[in-house]
Chains A and B, each alone.
Chain A
Amino acid sequence: MTRHEGISRGERRRLLACLAFLGLILLWPIHSHAYAGPGAGFAVLSSFWTLFVAFLYSVYAFFVWPFRQLFRLVRRRKAYGKAQITRAVILGFDGMDPELTERFIAEGRLPNLARLRAQGSFRKLRTTYPAISPVAWSTFMTGVNPGKHNIYDFLGRDLTDYLPYLSSAEIKGPKRSWKIGKYTIPLGGPRIRGMRRGTPFWHWLGEAGIFCSVIRVPVTFPPEKFSGVLLSGMCVPDLKGSQGTFCLCTTRLSSDKFREGGVRVPIERNGSLCTSYIPGPEDPLTGGSGELRVEFEIQPCRIDGEARFKVDSQTFTLRVGSYSEWIPVKFKAGMGFNAHGICRFYLKELSPEVEVYVTPVNIDPGKPDLPISHPVTYAIYLAKLFGPYATLGLAEDTWALNEKVLDDQAFLAQCYANHDDRERMLFDALEKTQQGLCACVFDTTDRVQHMFWRYLDDDHPAARHVPRGERPNVIQDLYARMDELIGRVMKQIDDQTLLMVVSDHGFKSFNRCVNLNAWLHQNGYLALKPGKTESGDWFEDVDWPHTRAYTMGLNGLYLNLKGRERDGIIEAGADADALKEELRHKLDGLVDPSSGRIGITGVFDCDAVYAGPYVDNAPDLIVGYGDGFRASWDSVMGKVTSQIFEDNLKAWSGDHCIDPRLVPGVLFCNRQISDEKPAIVDVAPTVLKLFGLPLPKHLDGKPWTVGTSLGKPIASANAL
């Protein structure tokens, strides 16, 4: 090589200077050099794949479009031919109370509801017997009384052993399994059976070709097939199969157990590193004899009050008093069996002790192990669009606040985080459902009122220590927030859209507990085994062969009927009727001796209030507690105590499981409604009729007379 053919100094300088711009070279060199590793390759391939799939779908959609349009035209003509509206938007605010609403409207806190009332209607909405959410919302969607939809409470009772079960759904293991040594390999998925009967009105709408988006309406688990999309609400279990089991991981040694709803898990220290675990579902491979766990680490940071968490391969940092985002957790059972969940961590304390609250492990909506939506992809769609969200039916952890594991602020933060997710879902559904039905239920109103009524009540036992001037306006703020949401929805809809704001029941203070089992015991209707003065949970030590009546759950009173209950002693017929009458007579007007107030304002014979094929599953009597009273925590759990009346000292300080006449819900509508006493059972037939569909004969509700256009009075409108 001759010298003049080599790289000169100038060239070397240019080489260094130009390295930074080498990327530009890729604009023209040979094709192979454009590939710069798997990162870019994946990006290109994934994008290409996405666009390719979208393109394929476009081609498919293009070719089938004429046929679908033709089909839709035929169906639409059928669907909307007699319809008075093209879209109905129903916002459900669980537990929104009409008296509070009126009060806050009068105070000027709810301008949008005031506008809605002025433009359309506001009524108290008669609720169900009993006034419990799963019962009322089941009636809302089916348009029938509980005797036809079979939901009477959160809990039902097993007639063979007097133990409770969840009334809305039954989850069992797979039908078949394969046993190999100590392992049991499930063959198939879990069996889920919905216990609610009756047909939701969106089924009829869907059948007529009217699209429906239904979000978190209670008692929609397991989801049923229909023409539309649905995300299940109240009664969806957590990954453990419970209705919500939180976990308190702590270095504090304690043998105390939470009354319900939570477990305590030790944190082990190893130097500065702390380790603990989240308890999960039972191991399916061991036949349920062991629980699966996900371990995690907590490493305090140098910055005071911060800690680094490591859960599987994920790491995140939390400050004391803050929540993590939803963290995916995978419970591995081996042999490819995994359960996918999500949970949030809340760092309570780092020094001197370490305490971490973990929410109940929700079913991961992005990888649902149980069906929580219809179609299954709808839950996934929402998770992909907005990120993970709470799927548990009772997602707001009221038990943790009751047990003082969470404080007020932490609980509220959790509630409103869930609420924000729900709002996003609602507005997406509104955008997607330009015609048809869009129904969304918000639980925040119920949970927050349950837990913060103590600050609204002048003399609530759970808040006597808080001076009136220092009480937060949680409920006022809650209503204002809901009002603001309604205002945003009103902006999204046009004049052809029917907007309804409904609640399933109202609210009252819960400051005194009534142990009805104690009353039954003291009045000779419920017997305990010899030598016992109190029972354990779920009727432990109850002498059934000498018991005539008992109560469990929130409002149901049961006779111990011969031939129905395992150890029943009351003959059906005249004896039973006489006993019911006797109990009604004695309980109605029961007075709380310490205050002189009436603890029970009504006892209702179920034979009189229910009708339908499932009345045999109903309680015999529904107990309507007075304003300020409710079944005691012990009584609900089938426990007999020595005291009939006692103060309610828990944060759960407001309730609605009382005399249904005292807690009607709300009905706002942007059209005028002529009926003066509408009931929640009327919603379904009203919507069906507004869409021009014939009403199924078995419905108990009656359609309201609704004005056909905004602001027009019934008289001048072409009323239905």
Chain B
Amino acid sequence: MGSLGVNIPALVVVGISLVIGLAMVIVFGHTSDQKAIHVAKDRLKAHLLALRLFQDQIHVVLRSYGRIVMATGHYLRLAFKPLVFVIVPVTFLIVQVDRYLGSLPIPADHSFLIKVLMDNPDELNEASLRLPDGLATTAPPVHVPSDREVAWRVVAATAGDYMIKVQVSDQTFSKQVVVGSGLRRLSSVRLRGFWKRILVSSEPALPENKFIEAIEVQYPARNIAFVGMEWNWIWLFFILSLAAGFLFKSILGIEI
């Protein structure tokens, strides 16, 4: 909740859903073969009606089932063509929004885990955690050689942005930890490489071939209260953007 009791995350999701719903309907309208989609949907409905109209003609019923499957495939092919145009921007947008709405900052005085994934399970003993003022470990590190992982349970006394450091041999690797509340841009993991990092991490890449594959901070998942239910933001976005799409497609006369 915001300072005035306003559910800011829900408002953000509603706003994004409306904008995305509108934008996607417009893009869909301009990039799809509207006439072909209209025809494909009508054919689909016709085959469904045939099931009812000719229900005593078993050969018609069976043929109609087959045609429904075929027509569905055809319709899906037509409807997914606009995906080519929207998949890149929408994917990036969702990734970015997920940074803000996917997780909560770690509450002060709550313990959380910091996990480090090593290259070599034999080097787990060499990894050490250096915490800034305000953060403290609450237990000795736990080594899981089978997973090449070492984990620390940590607690923050006060809210703030912290930079933890993991030292292995003479190398130091840092990772941001956000403690507090509200809408903050969070990156739960710092990774090596390129592809996965683009979708999951918002921090610079870890150096290649340098002991550590990933450093992860386990932020609690954010649930958004909306119409009396707790929602993961992506499901709320899914439903609201669909609803917005339904609304705008009718207004704009676009066939989806």
Identify the A interface with B (CB < 8 A): 1, 4-7, 11, 14-15, 18-19, 22-23, 25-26, 29-30, 32-33, 35-47, 50-51, 53-54, 57-58, 61, 68, 72, 211, 229, 313, 375, 377-378, 380-385, 387, 431-434
Contact = CB atoms under 8 A, between A and B. Distances in A.
Contact of B90 (A14, A36, A68, A381): A36
B69 to A, nearest CB: 8
Contacts of A431: 60
Contact of A385 (B42, B51, B69, B79): B42
Contacts of B249: 42
Contacts of B28: 37-39
Contacts of B42: 383-385, 387
3 closest A-B pairs by CB: A38-B245, A43-B79, A37-B24
Contact of A39 (B46, B53, B59, B86): B86
B138 interface: no
A379 B174 CA distance: 70
Interface of B: 20-21, 23-25, 27-28, 32, 39, 41-46, 48-57, 59-61, 65, 68-69, 72, 75-76, 79-80, 82-84, 86-88, 90-91, 94-95, 98, 173-174, 194-196, 198-200, 204-207, 232, 234, 237-238, 241-242, 244-246, 249, 253, 256
A380 B245 CA distance: 26
Contacts of B49: 377, 380-381, 384
Contacts of A41: 238, 241-242, 245
B contacts with A: majority SS: helix
Contact of B59 (A25, A50, A383, A434): A434
A68 B56 contact: yes
A5 B207 CA distance: 6
12 contacts: A15-B194, A25-B198, A32-B94, A35-B234, A39-B27, A42-B79, A43-B75, A43-B76, A377-B52, A377-B53, A385-B46, A432-B60
Contact of A23 (B56, B84, B196): B84
A contacts with B: majority SS: helix
B204 A7 contact: yes
Contacts of A1: 174, 204
A18 to B, nearest CB: 8
Contacts of B87: 22-23, 26, 36
A68 B61 CA distance: 14
Contacts of A61: 51, 55, 61
B50 A381 contact: yes
B82 A58 contact: no
Contacts of B57: 211, 432-434
Nearest to B238: A35
Contacts of A58: 65
A494 B50 CA distance: 23
A54 B174 CA distance: 55
Contacts of B196: 29
Contact of B256 (A5, A32, A42, A51): A42
Given A32-B232, A40-B82, A381-B50, 17 more contacts: A4-B207, A11-B194, A25-B198, A29-B196, A30-B200, A33-B95, A33-B199, A35-B234, A35-B237, A39-B25, A40-B80, A47-B72, A47-B76, A53-B48, A57-B51, A432-B57, A434-B59
